[in-house]
Amino acid sequence: MRRYRFLVCCGIVGILSVSAFAEPTLDISLGTRETGSTAEIGADGGTSGSIEWVDLAGQSLVLNDTWQQFTFDMDTAPLTGFTGDGILDGAAGTVEHIRFDSLGFAGPITIWIDEVADAIDPPGPPPAETITFGDFEGYLDGDEVIFQEPSFSGSTAAHLLAGSVSGVDSSVAFAGDASYKVDFQFVDGDPSRWLRLTTFQTPNLPNPTIAYDQDSVVSFWMKGVPEPSTALLLGLPAVALLRRRR
């Protein structure tokens, strides 16, 4: 009888331990460089100018293996200066980086990015349109496109463990046949750790131009998962970790 009571108690503790976990979350922001680009949207807009954060820590990515869209209205979203003054200068700049704030979750973390776009609505003709410049189609697996490897930025390399990688992944996509996969781990659970996933001089499609005027809205889709052991503990089934296409 004593042995039976002991087993029941252990079972209850195990259930409580699993249920105490919440799905890990990262805060997401857009970093834009004020280059004064005159290039077409998505084309190389240069690397000279100050950097502003758009909607700093205003959106969150839940690491639950579901695609989630992030949108940044360049006309109305709050701005915070990184190397700039918190005000957008000029009519266009570049996507300089995506910012990921750890919020205390160290990882390891895998993230996929797809359908990076800028929607514009110029006054009068032509009509509103969405220019998708980051669909990652037509590249080899592992090619660096738009974004550098996570450790490239000197601003946040010290926040990451060695071994982070990124590249095109033709086995996962929100739309089409490919997306961009990013693997990294923060050095510890300090909630101030962050990643600057920069576009600076990436081998393919670096420093993509975006508009600041014309009611510009920059967007992209992302999904992420923690390492498999944590994902299973959080209740994500094994099939979710193996699932590829939407």
The pLDDT tens digits along the chain (246 residues) read 444 343 333 333 333 333 345 799 999 999 999 999 999 999 999 999 999 999 999 999 999 999 999 999 999 999 999 999 999 999 999 999 999 999 999 999 999 999 999 999 988 887 899 999 999 999 999 999 999 999 999 999 999 999 999 999 999 999 999 999 999 999 999 999 999 999 999 999 999 999 999 999 999 999 999 965 454 444 444 434 433 334
Q: Are 117 and 220 within 8 A, CB to CB? A: yes
CA–CA separation, 32 and 16 (whole Å): 43
Instruction: Report residue 119 as tokens.
Output: 């929607």
Look up the domain containing 63 and give its range: 2-242
Residue 46 identity (one-letter amino acid)? G
Contact present, 199 and 148 (Cβ < 8 Å): yes
Structure tokens at 57: 């820590």
Give the rounded distance of the alpha carbon of 186 from its chain centre.
15
How long a stretch of residues is the chain?
Answer: 246
Determine the Cα–Cα distance for residues 174 and 154; give it in Å rounded to an integer: 30
Q: How far is CA 27 from CA 10, 37, 101, 165, 191, in A?
A: 36, 28, 5, 20, 11
pTM score? 0.85
- Total count of domains within the chain: 1
